[in-house]
Structure 1
Amino acid sequence: MSFGVDVRGLQVPDDVRGTLTGDDVAARLARKDATLWGPDAESEAAVRLGWLDLPSSSRSLVAQLAELRAQLQDEGLDRIVLCGMGGSSLAPEVICRTAGVPLVVLDTTDPGQVAAAMTDLDRTVVVVSSKSGGTVETDSQRRAFQAAFAEAGLDEKETGRRFVVVTDPGSPLSETAADMGARAVFLADPTVGGRYSALSAFGLVPSALAGADVGALLDEAEELAEHLAEPGNPAFELGAVLGAAAVQGRDKLALADAPAGSGTAIEGFGDWAEQLIAESTGKEGRGILPVVLESPTAPGAVAADTVLAVVGAGSPDAEPSLGVTGPLGAQFLGWEYATAVAGRVLGINPFDQPNVTESKENTNAILDSGLPDEPPLATIGAIELRGSGGVLDGVDLSSHDGVALGLDALLAAVPEHGYLAVMAYLDRLADASAGNLRSALAARSGRAVTFGWGPRFLHSTGQYHKGGPQQGAYLQITAEIGTDLPVPDRPFTFGGLQAAQAAGDRKALADRGRPLLHLHLTDRAAGIGQLLAALA
């Protein structure tokens, strides 16, 4: 078996292991026993375990997708843009990065990033991917691309054939796809939740059209699937270790790809695993917080409340740590299975997401009523400062060091076993240097620090922020928009939607009394530079 787990410095207590073994959890999960997580979770679990069948049930897609890709190539359509959020975009991004094939992933409402994706339209096909069919970001992106194709001179029929749709049966998007004459519509298995959908049509369709070998992914997963009923299989061990470590106080999971040349080459796996773990376990005041690292030695890899997991190679020298070996297809299935086992240990339902809709509802209310009036407490250089939860109480914002003092106050508000979440509503391509804030803040604070691009993280760690342990402090970064972009046939722009999403999430955190520092950049490049300088 190519999938394996190398555990260093961690033990599963006898009582936890005895319960898991005595309850025959490995075999019951493999045969899709929905009673594993208790009576309150049974109805949800009964319709959310289809992911266990995907290594075999997705086989029929391989030939279909190869034929569709060949058609597109013959027509000179070789640029694939994926419009999707969360489970609809994260797996294809990892698959294509690992395979070294180009895929434009559009999982944002930032108007600059959306506009940058609408280039080279003469060779572009757009995959619109949404399980519910009503995701506001994805619907807005689809509308923008339809308008762009029309402006480029394509008629209605030609425009429709530039779209491939992935959704659940009966969703509003399936009806839209028929109305617009989409070239192809792939209806996914409705018994597979979004974050468990890597090996379904959501993961495979855009990846195959971009040129990745999805048949090989299924082969890799199937090799592991044959062993999942066995007691003590490596995916079971991974889940037992993660769950037990969290119960014992190591509830932060630092995730890093193996360094180049040291194991299986997998790129960006943590971004996918982050949603799977955070959204599956972060609820009822419990959970495992994934912290995606730049490397296995980055700040935050080692701490008293943290387990380091290196994906694609054996365990590093650090303790406690995990080395999770195996190719990408096996990693997808193995981590899904492990997360379900960890959910059993934690005593939560790993298939619901009870707090995800809160920020969405806040966003819709703000789109209807307008942005709240929140004058800045101070403007220093290219940064406006605002705060809630008492984070700026007593801070001298008249000082030229006001930004550094505000950041210090926020770091001081992180509880002893808490975390800091950086939430950047920016262009993750043009403003990529903002990502350096994570390691700088982790090095300065010694605390767990996560980094998420908004609104992407709302479909990922957003559930953990609201439903997990209330030990977080939050740094939200927004920015002025250069050129806004309309959303066709909607009463808002992309910039307006982005601002409403940020404000809606601020409200959700403020309602919980969490410390939040909101920094608005009046000049993006200058503001990011000013922030990094304040942390130097």
Structure 2
Amino acid sequence: MGIDQNDAVAEALRRLVSDSFATRLWQRDASLWPEPSPGGDPASNTLGWLDLPMRLSMLGQQFADLNSQLVADGFTDVVVLGMGGSSMTPLALSNLFEDSIANGSSRIRLHALDTVNPTTVSKITENLDLSKTLVFVSSKSGTTIEPLTLESHFRAAMESSPSSSMNRKNFVALTDPDTPLSERARAGEFGTWVATPEDVGGRFSALCAFGMMPAAATGINVRLFAESAARMAQRCSVDSEENPGLALGAFMASNALDGRDKVTLITSSEYSMFGAWVDQLLAESTGKNGKGLIPVTGEPVLKLDDFDSDRQFIVFKTGEDTDRLSHAIFALRSSDHPVFVIEPQSADKHEIAGEFFRWQIATAAASSLMDIYPFDQPDVESAKVKSRELLTDLRTAIDSVDLNEALAETTIHRAPKYVAITAFLPESEELTAAFADLRKAISQKTGMATTFGYGPRYLHSTGQLYKGGPQNAIVLGFVSGIYDHLAVPDESYTFGQLTEAQAGGDFMVMAEGGQKVLPVKLGVDPAAELSTATQQLIE
């Protein structure tokens, strides 16, 4: 671990140690943070994640034979239907372990579906043999609209498939006890129901069944995850400046309080989706009451001149391109940017479990230093309410602006503002690359940091930050001008209309809260439209 110990960071770390933060955290001392928002769960009901590293070995034993059982039963694919904390860990792990899953002996592929975009839903459905697909319906509350509508879709697709028939054994429920989803499971609608811990919030649930059962299904060794998490938990339990969670938390909070609230995570490409997991943890935990750590992840490579003074950098130094990361560390430090370097104790990818826990401790510590309550998300529901209203009146359309006009608007701003790019579009490598080029052009032109997320994924991630955090974002909200009419079974709306309602509702709430929101509709070839506009912006 390498940390730039300026006076503010050192003082913040000493404060955490002298205040016995670690001891009090493990004792569940709620006085470490301010009171939750009205209706938010108190800390005493949300700190169960501290116990997960020690419970993980038992979970590993419970799921030890899961992969072999699924292979024996003829399954070839696992699809996780979830949002936010229910899907971020499977998403990160499927990306990180992609090669070993594809080339190993597990013979089970892992897919995390956290979108209701009709093009994406149709594509993944067409590419699966549904009779050999196990579907995890993952929802802590048991009421989340996206996984429930997707569940309806997959059940209907299995019923109508000539090579398959709807079988409850193809469906697994992951949810807390006493939720509507658990009641359906008790009634026999699912082959299996695994109860998730009630005292663990979604974004802190990586090491429980939400993250670990899909991992085990694909043959990932949960026992090694347990060993990594337990080692990190031990290191994070002491009141010491060597505590890795406290050190990271002190670094993030002190720099943010000094005006450097853009937490820029630099990783190797294979850890890119770990950045999406960090997005949710930081943004949803801290983005409240006009404050927040603004995670900047998946950013294209920029020059030092493209970074303004509102940045702090965390370099996750592992993976295949450590030479590039070493060069980045040297260059940033030479330019007096604050840099925190994380080097896992082993190159083994199972060390990611320990990193999940390090970042959770760090988030709890940073929130304490910034006087933020990290275990609620008071502004997420507002966009859901607005989306439901729009679904009742499908005639309401999103007022959009021309793409070039929207980009011209961004160029008149400078840091500490930042550009938040949201895309309610079908995810693809080509489109993601086009957005990366756009992000690079904006930063080169203005010096502003950029964030990026596909919708509705970001609604359950950075969405809380955009609504409850600092109101200094210029939001470029991209939607499709063309949706197919994939029906949501037993509902009066289509997946396209649901997507449009979610986008419109969120844009309205962000604008009402004070953000500058610029909705943009793209046509049949969004990647090409973006590329053309990006080139014009550069010129």
Taking structure 1 as the reference length, what is the TM-score of the superposition? 0.88
2:3 maps to which residue?
Answer: 7
Pairwise CA distance, 1:527: 2.8
Distance in 2 between the 1:456 and 1:40 partners? 24
Structure 1: which 5+ residue stretches go unaligned?
Answer: 260-264, 376-384, 387-401
Q: 2:435 aligned with 1:435, yes or no?
A: yes
Q: 2:292 aligned with 1:287, yes or no?
A: yes
What amino acid is the match of 2:458?
F
Q: 2:262 aligned with 1:252, yes or no?
A: yes
Give the one of 123, 131, 135 matched to 2:144: 135
2:67 maps to which residue?
Answer: 69
Cα 1:513–1:283 change in 2 (3 A) is closer
Distance in 1 between the 2:502 and 2:397 partners? 15
- Native 8 Å contact 2:511 2:517 kept in 1: yes
What amino acid is the match of 2:533?
L
Pairwise CA distance, 1:34: 2.2
1:268 maps to which residue?
Answer: 273
Pairwise CA distance, 1:500: 0.3
Q: 2:176 aligned with 1:168, yes or no?
A: yes
Pairwise CA distance, 1:498: 0.2
- Native 8 Å contact 2:36 2:376 kept in 1: no
What amino acid is the match of 1:355?
D
SS class of match (1:360): helix
Q: 2:160 aligned with 1:151, yes or no?
A: yes
Cα 1:192–1:16 change in 2 (3 A) is same
- Native 8 Å contact 1:83 1:142 kept in 2: yes
Q: Deviations over 1:476-507 (max 9, x none)?
A: 11113353211111121100000000110111
Q: 2:54 aligned with 1:36, yes or no?
A: no
Cα 1:43–1:198 change in 2 (3 A) is closer
Distance in 1 between the 2:304 and 2:424 partners? 23
1:399 maps to which residue?
Answer: none
Which stretch shifts more, 140-149 or 213-222?
A: 213-222
Give the one of 68, 93, 118 matched to 2:91: 93
Which stretch shifts more, 147-156 or 43-52?
A: 147-156
Pairwise CA distance, 1:299: 8.0
1:58 maps to which residue?
Answer: 56
- Native 8 Å contact 2:41 2:376 kept in 1: no
Distance in 2 between the 1:512 and 1:524 partners? 32
Cα 1:273–1:6 change in 2 (3 A) is same
Distance in 1 between the 2:61 and 2:9 partners? 46
Cα 1:274–1:371 change in 2 (3 A) is farther
Pairwise CA distance, 1:371: 4.2
What amino acid is the match of 1:85?
M
Distance in 2 between the 1:76 and 1:140 partners? 26
Q: 2:342 aligned with 1:339, yes or no?
A: no
Q: 2:123 aligned with 1:116, yes or no?
A: yes
Which stretch shifts more, 40-49 or 24-33?
A: 40-49
Cα 1:266–1:405 change in 2 (3 A) is closer
What amino acid is the match of 1:369?
D
What amino acid is the match of 1:222?
A
What amino acid is the match of 2:237?
A
Pairwise CA distance, 1:450: 0.3
Distance in 1 between the 2:450 and 2:289 partners? 21
SS class of match (1:473): strand
Pairwise CA distance, 1:10: 4.1
Which stretch shifts more, 336-345 or 436-445?
A: 436-445
What amino acid is the match of 1:45?
A
- Native 8 Å contact 1:255 1:290 kept in 2: yes
1:534 maps to which residue?
Answer: 536
Distance in 2 between the 1:135 and 1:175 partners? 15
Cα 1:79–1:17 change in 2 (3 A) is closer
Distance in 1 between the 2:485 and 2:433 partners? 22
Cα 1:488–1:11 change in 2 (3 A) is farther
Pairwise CA distance, 1:512: 2.5
Q: Deviations over 1:183-204 (max 9, x none)?
A: 2111111111000111011110
Distance in 2 between the 1:454 and 1:434 partners? 16
2:229 maps to which residue?
Answer: 221
2:485 maps to which residue?
Answer: 484
1:407 maps to which residue?
Answer: 407
Distance in 2 between the 1:136 and 1:167 partners? 14
Cα 1:424–1:10 change in 2 (3 A) is farther
1:380 maps to which residue?
Answer: none
- Native 8 Å contact 1:34 1:43 kept in 2: no
Q: What aligned pairs does 1:297-336 form with structure 2 within 5 A after superposition?
A: 302-313=307-318, 316-317=329-330, 318-319=332-333, 320-326=338-344, 327-336=351-360
SS class of match (2:375): coil
Cα 1:21–1:494 change in 2 (3 A) is same
Q: Deviations over 1:57-76 (max 9, x none)?
A: 23222233232322210122
Pairwise CA distance, 1:18: 4.5
SS class of match (1:66): coil
Pairwise CA distance, 1:15: 5.1
SS class of match (1:80): strand
Distance in 2 between the 1:296 and 1:346 partners? 30
SS class of match (1:190): coil
The alignment-based identity, stated in percent, is 35
2:104 maps to which residue?
Answer: none
Distance in 2 between the 1:13 and 1:63 partners? 41
Distance in 2 between the 1:532 and 1:180 partners? 52
Cα 1:323–1:425 change in 2 (3 A) is same
- Native 8 Å contact 1:415 1:472 kept in 2: no
What amino acid is the match of 2:491?
R
Q: Deviations over 1:383-413 (max 9, x none)?
A: xx42xxxxxxxxxxxxxxx64343121332x
1:359 maps to which residue?
Answer: 383
Pairwise CA distance, 1:141: 0.4
1:382 maps to which residue?
Answer: none
Pairwise CA distance, 1:435: 3.0
1:238 maps to which residue?
Answer: 248
1:448 maps to which residue?
Answer: 449
Count of residue pairs brought into register by the alignment: 501
Q: Deviations over 1:35-71 (max 9, x none)?
A: 2113557961111111111011232222332323222
Pairwise CA distance, 1:14: 6.0
Q: 2:505 aligned with 1:504, yes or no?
A: yes
2:474 maps to which residue?
Answer: 473
Pairwise CA distance, 1:25: 0.6
What amino acid is the match of 2:495?
F
What amino acid is the match of 1:419?
Y
- Native 8 Å contact 2:35 2:373 kept in 1: no
Cα 1:408–1:299 change in 2 (3 A) is farther
What amino acid is the match of 1:424?
A
Cα 1:212–1:298 change in 2 (3 A) is farther
Pairwise CA distance, 1:153: 4.8
Taking structure 2 as the reference length, what is the TM-score of the superposition? 0.87
Give the helix-richer structure, 1 or 2.
2
Distance in 2 between the 1:281 and 1:114 partners? 32
Distance in 1 between the 2:305 and 2:206 partners? 27
